[in-house]
Chains A and B, each alone.
Chain A
């Protein structure tokens, strides 16, 4: 009885959380004329791929997806590369000093990105990187570095120092120690950080809109916000929902792919072993 109640509560909570997403998917697969039918149809009478086809054929949506993939992948890789170097250096500092630096990094992570839009824009413009994916990649790694360093330092500092020393005696230089010893041992933390940073870059809207005003360079969230109908009074809800549905696919894929590591990374150190 108690178990059944627990299960029921679980299902309700899951449905409540998933409802907006389910509604998005349902709207996306409805034939366009059914979207506003009254009374509301919770399940479509027939499934239609028309909205998906329209998004890709009537709009440059594939272009947006490619832009987003470039920016998110680049941002993630650059962030993790810089964060590994920083966390590796912190590992060799006296703990007190490393922790103090970390606390300052946390301050950087707390500042809302919205506040930084204008300074970031000024810097990127000065670098001549407006409408250049590199500008967005640089901005994203700048915003995510504190988080990345934090995650990786926590993981690195659990690795015994003797391993570095054994590696030094075996003839590895510091880059080799980082690549062949430390990073493989911190792979859980790397996976978690990669997933979270990728999702941040993938979903980010405001900076992408600011730094990439040219339609050719829209990322997915910006592209979706710019979808419009034949007139400004017509909003193509079906297409928008189809686009949103497509957008979530890589995020789900990444989480599914890295799930094992993410769980390990989030619980690391919780239990001795």
Chain B
């Protein structure tokens, strides 16, 4: 049989009560496993899970007082919407009038009152998503677990649902763990973002911190509307020198060794005088509506620069580009960890 896969490696994470926490990472990074461990669908080989001040390791999923919304919604196809929402209440032994009241309340909150008598197959994707949400809400759980709940929706509905979800959970003051690979979702919805890679937590912080102060090369690369520029090179004698030695940037550091230099496309400007001045050749231009991405080359190094739509340039042009040393991130080439300078 195949080898054992370690999906989560020594993850320590504290989710504050009433916060919307997003776990962000590429597929296979262990974010869904993390959610499933909290839900009790997966057993950790070691470690402890607390919900409130209760250790829940030994509790069955139904006893943990968590609710989960699955990526494909996992509605019971043979039950009407009403039954789908009511089943957990029935299992808890609530009386029929109580159940009716709670289901009606939640259905009203999500605007699905008229769907209660239908089967899931008679609903659109967006409606199914609401029913899945209603099924979670009706239980009034201590923690909501949402596993990429928007990824099966059309782009338009997705954006609308995104803001609705955010408002809904804010109003409820609910504790939410939300898993997604979509950084726009993560950045726009959450109080706290947890970035994961290869089963490890790379950084925990607000959307702003994650973007402005990435602690790991992976975080810098994964977060941001445009992928960050990375130049490989060495630190020697107070300067960063790219592999082909075409880019040399003096930095206030005495550290030595192989590093990756990161600079965001939106931090690079046309012209001179921001501290680091370079000359680059345009290789490719990508219009993006309000912006343009200009791809440039310095030696063998390729960089992306984000400019306004009115900026004119031709392929083959030579441009002066400039950026501030403060916008530079240095990462250890081996571990990917951030190196702070200055």
Contacts and interface: CB of A to CB of B under 8 A. Distances in A.
Contact of A184 (B41, B78, B92): B78
A168 B61 contact: yes
B195 interface: no
A135 to B, nearest CB: 37
Contacts of A169: 39-41, 61-62, 66-68, 88
B62 A168 contact: yes
Interface string A172-197: 11001000110011000000000000
A264 to B, nearest CB: 13
B72 interface: yes
B17 to A, nearest CB: 20
Nearest to A184: B78
A106 to B, nearest CB: 23
B84 to A, nearest CB: 9
A176 B60 CA distance: 14
A162 B72 contact: yes
Nearest to B42: A165
Interface in A139-192: 160, 162-163, 165-173, 176, 180-181, 184-185
A94 B62 CA distance: 24
A155 to B, nearest CB: 13
Contacts of B62: 168-173
B41 A171 contact: no
Interface string A59-94: 000000000000000000000000000000000001
Given A168-B61, A169-B39, A169-B66, A162 B74 contact: yes
Given A169-B66, A171-B88, A172-B62, A160 B41 contact: no
A168 B74 CA distance: 12
A181 B77 CA distance: 9
Given A171-B92, A172-B91, A184-B78, A160 B61 contact: no
B88 A162 contact: no
Given A165-B41, A165-B61, A170 B74 contact: no
Interface residues of A, number: 18
A160 B66 contact: no
Contacts of B1: 94
B41 A170 contact: no
A165 B37 CA distance: 12
B295 interface: no
A94 B1 CA distance: 10
Nearest to A174: B60
A165 B76 contact: no
A169 B92 CA distance: 12
Contacts of A165: 39, 41, 61, 68, 70, 74
Nearest to B63: A171
Contacts of A171: 62-63, 88, 91-92
A166 B70 contact: yes
B87 interface: yes
B62 to A, nearest CB: 3
A76 to B, nearest CB: 22
B77 A185 contact: yes
A163 B73 CA distance: 9
Interface in B35-49: 39-41
Among B75, B78, B92, B135, chain A packs the most CB atoms within 10 A around the CB of B78
B253 to A, nearest CB: 50
Contact of B78 (A94, A167, A173, A185): A185
A172 B92 CA distance: 10
A171 B75 CA distance: 15
A163 B74 contact: yes
A70 B160 CA distance: 60
A266 B39 CA distance: 37
Contacts of B70: 162, 165-166
Nearest to B91: A171
Nearest to B64: A169
Interface of A: 94, 160, 162-163, 165-173, 176, 180-181, 184-185
- 7 A-B pairs with the lowest CB-CB distances in the bound complex, closest first: A171-B62, A162-B74, A166-B74, A170-B88, A171-B91, A168-B61, A184-B78
Given A169-B39, A171-B91, 17 more contacts: A94-B1, A160-B74, A165-B39, A165-B68, A165-B74, A166-B135, A168-B40, A168-B60, A168-B62, A169-B41, A169-B61, A170-B91, A170-B135, A171-B62, A171-B88, A171-B92, A176-B91
